Amino acid sequence: MAAVIGEFSLGWFGGEEARDEPDVAGLVHDFHGLLYRVAYSVVRNPAEAEDVVQETFLRVVEHRGKLAGIREMKSWLVRICWNLALDRKRRIRPEQMEDGFAAEIVSRELGAEARLVVSRDVAMVLKALDRLPVAERACLLLSAVDELSTAEVAVVLGRSESSVRSLIFRARTHLKERLGMKGGVA
């Protein structure tokens, strides 16, 4: 892929771009999956999540001068992606987004009768998730991504690890309470 990127004309300032381009291609190769999952956890829509990933790498290209000085590339990328996804989510109608996501989950599950039940349950959990405080929700979602450790989540959110752990615990507790009050669904 780096070769593909290197094919086009880089113009009069090509020297710098040619030097940075393989790095960006490498970053895309290494992190596009992780960023897609991070974006998807927020926007809950495949097309929107892919758009967010593309925007993230565009930002990287625009700030490629800083690439050399970044120590934790993964956290930096996830933070950009997370912020862009939050911005994007504000522009999407949440009802549509949740319905689509719920339908997607249900379609992978069991057949006819169970679909309606599971769909309602997923929608309920999502609603409870959205009502969580921002920090708790962020910690819960990011910690659920397999590729991110608690330390990395802490870096992304600019918090300490203990704070992140505490927030995750509180988020789960709050979710359970809210779902328990509304009644469980099999």
**Residue with Cβ nearer other proteins (71 or 170):** 170
Query: What is 48-111 written as a DSSP string?
Result: HHHHHHHHHHHHHHHTGGGGGG-S-HHHHHHHHHHHHHHHHHHHS-HHHHHHHHHHHHHHHS--
Dist CA 66 CA 48 (whole Å): 27
4 binds other proteins (CB under 8 A): yes
- Residue 121 is a binding residue for other proteins (CB under 8 A): yes
- Interface residue with other proteins among 81, 84, 141, 156 (CB under 8 A) is 141
- Residue 82 contacts other proteins per CB under 8 A: no
Shortest Cβ distance from residue 13 to other proteins (Å)? 6
Tokens 């039940």 belong to residue: 117
Q: Report how far apart, in Å, the C-alpha atoms of 170 and of each of 29, 44, 74, 131 are.
A: 35, 23, 26, 13
**Which of 67, 73, 125, 135 touches other proteins (CB under 8 A)?**
125
CB 61, CB 80: distance < 8 Å: no
For residues 5 to 34, the per-residue mask of contacts with other proteins, x marking binding by CB under 8 A and - elsewhere, is x--xxxxxxx--x---x--xx--xx--xx-
Closer CB to other proteins, residue 22 or residue 166? 22
Q: How many residues bind other proteins (CB under 8 A)?
A: 52
Looking at the chain, the number of H-run helices and the number of E-run strands are 9, 0
Is the sign of the CA dihedral 84, 87, 90, 91 positive or negative?
negative
Select from 68, 112, 134, 186 the one that contacts other proteins (CB under 8 A): 186
Structural tokens at position 107: 């379609």
Nearer Cβ to other proteins, position 131 or 176?
176
54 binds other proteins (CB under 8 A): yes
Contact residues toward other proteins (CB under 8 A) are 1, 4-5, 8-14, 17, 21, 24-25, 28-29, 32-33, 36-38, 40-41, 44, 46, 50, 53-54, 57-58, 61, 101, 104-105, 121-122, 125-126, 129, 140-141, 144-146, 172, 175-176, 179-180, 184-186
